[in-house]
Structure 1
Amino acid sequence: MGQAGHIVEPGMGGVQRQGEQAVAVRIATFNANNLFSRWSFQAELPRTVANPPLAEIATDAPPEATDVPGGGQPSVVEVVLPDGTRMSGILRTFRGKLVKGKDPKARAWIARRIAALDADVLCLQEVEDQDALDTFHRDDLRPLGVDYRYRVVVEGNDPRRIDVAICSRLPITRISSWRFWPDSTGEPVFGRDLLQAQIAAPDGKPLHVFVNHLKSNFIADEHTLSPDEVLAAREGIARRRSEQATAIAQILRRQRLTRRVVVTGDLNDTPDADTLAALRTANLTEQIHQGTTVAGPNRSGTLVDDKFADLSPTIWTHRHRDKGVTTFALYDQIWTSPDLTVTAAHVMRRTQISGDGSDHDPAYIDLALD
């Protein structure tokens, strides 16, 4: 068995999933990349109805209301069919564009990857809401034999409504949302949420799991900005991400949580970045950077070994190509308190370079709970 907080490579004494005295719990994180349930309205209409007249569509709120972070209400639209039947639904937009649901083929691929992960606790990013998560679970995961009885999403602050979520086979006994934790100005520091779940582990003790999606590196309309403006924007992004990591550490201290803590999610920076220094100061250790890759399912569900090992000297979960330059980074991370024994850490590698249903690869750890 490895020392607490360190990796034991597969085949070197790591616990098995079953049949050992120690209990193994697998925790995974995955940015599902816009797991929305909403569709273009016409796609939801019966096939016998085509192109309803715009005059017969009414809304009770302007689309701009859906772009207000944490406020406003999505537009409720009503369509009158030729036979007089009235259908209503929700119309949501972002920056003036209709936001559609995730492509069914991409959803199915995401589901196959989740099934292959076989995680006891699955932390997700970029989930629209509880309905989207429950629908995905019913329509895509359950047909593959995946059943997460405990599923939770709390509405966050993101204007696109991409929230964080936790799915668990183990009982979730309590949840907390830190959506409104303030920064130095009194405004919410988290652009999405910091979702906390207390999970009843098989050894009878609680695990404290936190999932977040830290500040993105995206700069709106970057091509219109001067080099100095771009630099200032990047510095602002780094400051915000640093504030968010500091807030996580403060929240842990406030609860006096030092044991059986797991902090995970898409942190949008590398584990050794200055912006994440507060997590290291909180005596947490990032585990995935010490890990290896495992095979992931292709479109047909066949597991394919890592074909991209030579592209980066370090392990990665996210690939970004901009202006002819390709970068690879470990954005999807799992940090643990020093009392937890981590017996394995892996990234499930994509089978096509652009991504398999998501531009992120999932990562997971196995914990040995005595």
Structure 2
Amino acid sequence: MDVAVGTFNLNNLFSRFNFRAEISAVHPVDDEGRLTSSYVFDDPKSVRIRRYKGKLVKGIDPEEQKVLARRISAMDLDILAVQEVEDIDKIEGNDPRLIDIAVLSKFPVGAVTSWQHAVHPDVPGERVFSRDLLEVHILDPRDPDKHLLTVFNNHLKSQFVDRDTDPEEGKRRADERRTRQAETIARIIGERTRPDGRYIVLGDMNDTPEAPTLSKLAEPAHQLSLTEALAHPEETRAPKPDDPPPPASGSWTHRFKENGQPAKYELFDQIWLSKSLTTRHKSSHIDRRTRHGGDGSDHDPAWVVLDL
């Protein structure tokens, strides 16, 4: 049985907290999201307003949501790990923007574990994950009493540095946090799986597979023996021309361009296979965007096909 498993950062999908009415529909707001009028809500359960750093969080453009939905539908995957998806009625992660991670599955789902409270021994009083580490057990549709594989969905610390922070110090702190996150992932997986277990570690890692911050995942001698599966993916279409051009290998999912600088193409969205799954790996794929800014997201989704 072929099983397609993928990952997709949905770029702040459903970034709104007010289910009865959008703030802009109640009263106009300026470009900074500031609301000058006062409203009284007699029933606090009917309206929820979300702010981040003092500003109202706006909903994503409905047309962009439709683009994302079409891309997900076109991939037709069996299991999809997503990041930056918002649903306040489910498990909340640690991100102050309330962007969460989730797993969509056509197959039956067994145990689900959130590791949002995990800590690193270097900082035992602080949650290590910026969002969460989500462990999901997928059951075999041919025999729902049988375990098929385990998915570990991730969204590690971003490379963004606040403009009020020293760039070098900000990068150092972000890299340190990401390193601790990768080390914690390796520890948890080592404790939760068997050497011959079927599991996938995937998601938006916010760094490249060979980066020092992810070394605990990439160590060939590590007990996990993980293999990153997107080294030479098949692309759904040719990438947009650029100068310099994107990597010929096609091994990238994220494009970032600073003003006056050439664009960087990096494989931030990764799929790491356990040792027992590497021999069952048939193919790897990336759905390539049609515009530099991305189609609904600044990340391109990636997936693998496994023979299970």
Fold agreement, TM-score > 0.5: yes
Change (3 A) 1:167 1:212: same
CA distance in 2 between partners of 1:55 and 1:206 (Å): 54
Give the alignment of 1:99-138 within 5 angstroms.
99-129=57-87
1:317 pairs with 2:253: yes
Change (3 A) 1:98 1:252: same
Residue 120 of structure 1, CA deviation:
0.4
CA distance in 1 between partners of 2:70 and 2:172 (Å): 38
CA distance in 2 between partners of 1:345 and 1:176 (Å): 27
Change (3 A) 1:42 1:179: closer
Instruction: Name the count of aligned residue pairs.
Output: 286
Which of 277, 282, 288 matches 2:215?
A: 277
CA distance in 1 between partners of 2:49 and 2:257 (Å): 32
Residue 308 of structure 1, CA deviation:
4.2
TM-score (norm 1): 0.71
Residue 128 of structure 1, CA deviation:
1.3
Poorly superposed stretches of 4+, deviation over 6 Å: 39-42, 49-53
For the aligned residue pairs, the C-alpha RMSD in angstroms reads 2.6
Change (3 A) 1:287 1:239: same
Larger radius of gyration: 1
8 Å contact 2:235–2:288 — kept in the other structure?
A: yes
- Give the corresponding residue for 1:328: 265
8 Å contact 2:41–2:47 — kept in the other structure?
A: no
Give the alignment of 1:1-370 within 5 angstroms.
23-36=1-14, 38=16, 44=22, 54-58=37-41, 76=44, 88-129=46-87, 153-183=90-120, 184-186=122-124, 187-202=126-141, 204-221=146-163, 224-225=164-165, 229-258=166-195, 259-280=197-218, 281=222, 282-295=224-237, 305-308=238-241, 310-314=245-249, 315-325=251-261, 326-340=263-277, 341-369=280-308
Structure 1 residue runs without a partner (length 5+): 1-22, 61-75, 78-87, 132-152, 296-304
CA distance in 2 between partners of 1:59 and 1:241 (Å): 43
Describe the superposition over 1:198-243 as per-residue Cα deviations: whole angstroms up to 9, x where unpaired.
Answer: 001346433110001001000011xx55xxx321221221111111
Structure 2 residue runs without a partner (length 5+): 29-34
8 Å contact 1:294–1:306 — kept in the other structure?
A: no
- Tell me, what secondary structure is at the counterpart of 1:334? strand
Change (3 A) 1:41 1:27: closer
- Tell me, what secondary structure is at the counterpart of 1:205? strand
Percent identity at matched positions?
Answer: 42
Residue 129 of structure 1, CA deviation:
1.7
Residue 366 of structure 1, CA deviation:
0.4
Change (3 A) 1:343 1:30: same
Residue 105 of structure 1, CA deviation:
0.3
- Tell me, what secondary structure is at the counterpart of 1:239? helix
CA distance in 2 between partners of 1:171 and 1:320 (Å): 37
